Amino acid sequence: MRYSELSDMYQELEDNSSRLRKTEILSNFLKKLNGGESIYLLQGKAFPDYSEKEFGISERLCIKALSKASGIVGDRIIDDWKKIGDLGEVAEKVIGKKKQNTLFSKSLSVRKVLDNLRKLPELEGKGTIGRKLSLISELLTSASGKEAKYIIRTLIGDLRIGVASGTIRDAIVQTYSNSDEKKEVSGIVQEAYDKTNDFALIFEKMRKGIDELKKIQLNPGHPIKLMLALKADNLEDGFKRVGRPAAFEYKYDGFRMLINKDKKGKVKIFTRRLDNVTNQFPDVAGYIRDHIKADSFIIDSEAIGYDPKSLKYRPFEAISQRIKRKHNIEKLVKELPIEVNVFDILYLNGKSLIGEPFEKRTKIMRDLIKPYKHKIRCSHQLITSDEKKAEKFYKDALKDNQEGLMIKNLHSRYVPGARVGHMLKLKPAENELDLVITGGEYGKGKRAGILSSFTLSCRDEGKFLEIGKASTGLKEKEELGLSFKELNDRLRRFIVKESGRGAVIKPKIIVTIIYQNIQRSPTYKSGFALRFPRIVRLRDDKGLNDVASLKEISDDYVRHELKVHY
């Protein structure tokens, strides 16, 4: 297939905001498709979702490649970028102009784009930058303006076609089922995706027939997306939403860890963003060897830090280095020890458990794990229908310096990657949200040249919509693990456009904020405004998928409004 066909479709998707229309466009595209791999390109990638490979291409390198392919000097491209804001559109202009002057050039195939993109993450060592540059400019040289726009946007991870995984699922369903079967087929496709994170594989199987799709199994070692939580207002609300009796568990203040062991005995550990952190946690591999006797499994857990001398638990910030640091691991293991609190099991000895009810999973998990304090144990749990008992348990959790409680539905299956309300979180600081910074404003006087007010955005189907502005609020270095200046330095790397004192920032840095309340507001694109938001935490452990969605915020708002009026 020609890459021009794909980029025409990208354009169509970009121009049509209706999800139904997008599904139709994608479905027509799938009908023409021979191999499934092009589906990765629809997701802005060259590999399946579970792959950890990244292109590792900066905007600067794209500008160099554009300059090389077009003969236009870099500074002029940068000027355009500052004016236009979107590097993709800059590429369209620059390469489009060149094309008008070139009579002959090869046309670009999807295969060639995929091949070159796939080589990028493999490059290492001396001369890497030069080789990356050649791979990109080779594509740009054969590209039309429109093709260049989407190549550049793919490289910088900002495709902007508004296609989330749910739309790809619906398009596959639409292509391969009639209207009576749609609901059932949709469930089967979703389950296959939950297990594999690989739409190309699903497409290939689906072409052979739905029975092939049903055979797909979980595969320990391939990370799967984790089930996510919604907020509960209080215990009563929790019971109402997950049913009685419910399972209450301590909400530990650490970071999520998905621990896999495959049947060859290989252990792999992933964070909630699906980053592979196995090398950083040799201690956890040891815990597993000693305390879980099974051939293969996938368990879901929260790792919390403790002080090696006093053995007291420590807040997340104190151990966040353990995720990032790649050197001197053994020393760090001793200085910042962690305890793994296991709270779910997804797979055991060749069998997927995600379809089983939580009640059964938690029992299997508790029978399997030999608990050992300060190494590995099962989450502290209470199953009850009694609100008084739950209340006491909640107080105990807070007294033990944990964040609050998780409230879980005993009868529900594990739903990867989704906030479906099968598990809720209850914390005292209820007015808290995870948002992404998408803009900033330079201060005046002493703060001149320093970004000191930040635009915060929520998520809406792959887009980010403004919902408020927070000024400094950020606590001091000791508490946050990052000074205000360091936050500034980080944000500056992602500035897309500046005008006057304002800056547009690529959505990369996720923060937890607390706020007083939410109001409807015409000022921001989200339609809501936060009153008095304050940044309290940087969330390196979270990805864009964890940013609060407009739907959650609006549901929360409606629930609170109802409470005020009735």
- Between residues 149 and 251, which has the closer beta carbon with respect to ligand AMP? 251
Window contacting ligand AMP (CB under 6 A); options: 79-87, 127-135, 244-252, 483-491 = 244-252
Nearest Cα to 301, choosing from 227, 379, 367, 228?
Answer: 379
Does 117 sit near ligand AMP (CB under 6 A)? Answer: no
Among candidate residues 377, 191, 350, the one with its CA nearest the CA of residue 262: 350
Binding to ligand AMP, residues 293-312 (CB under 6 A): 302
170 touching ligand AMP, by CB under 6 A: no
- Cα torsion at 341, 343, 349, 350 (round to 10°)? -130
Give Cα 272 distance to the centre of its chain. Answer: 8
Number of residues that bind ligand AMP (CB under 6 A): 12
Site string for ligand AMP, 265-284 (x = CB under 6 A): -------x------------
Nearest to 147, CA basis, from 37, 69, 47, 57: 69
Length of the chain: 566
Q: Are 494 and 504 in contact (CB under 8 A)?
A: no
* Residue 434 CB partners (closer than 8 Å, separation 6+): 510, 511, 512, 513, 539, 542, 546, 547, 548
Encoding tokens for residue 292? 């879980």
412 counts as binding ligand AMP under rule CB under 6 A: no
Any idea what DSSP says for residue 227? P
Choosing from 149, 251, 408, 542, the catalytic residue is: 251
Instruction: Compose the 325-364 pattern: x for residues touching ligand AMP by CB under 6 A, - for all others.
Output: ------------------x---------------------
In the complex, least distance from residue 270 CB atom to ligand AMP, rounded to whole angstroms = 12
Residue 251 annotated among the catalytic residues of the structure: yes
Which residue lies nearer to ligand AMP by CB, 65 or 406?
406
Does position 251 interact with ligand AMP (CB under 6 A)? The reply is yes
Segment interacting with ligand AMP, rule: CB under 6 A, options 51-59, 159-167, 206-214, 250-258: 250-258
CA distance 337 to 5: 53
Query: Interface with ligand AMP includes 320 (CB under 6 A)?
Result: no
Q: List the interface residues with ligand AMP, window 20-59 (CB under 6 A).
A: none
92: nearest Cα among 102, 77, 79: 77
425 near ligand AMP (CB under 6 A): yes
Q: Which of residues 366-385 bind ligand AMP (CB under 6 A)?
A: 379
Contact assessment for residue 279 and residue 329, using Cβ atoms and an 8 Å cutoff: yes
CB atoms within 10 A of CB 120: 19
Counting contacts by CB under 6 A, is residue 194 touching ligand AMP?
A: no
For the annotated catalytic residues, the residue numbers are 251
Residues that bind ligand AMP (CB under 6 A): 229, 249-252, 256, 272, 302, 343, 379, 406, 425
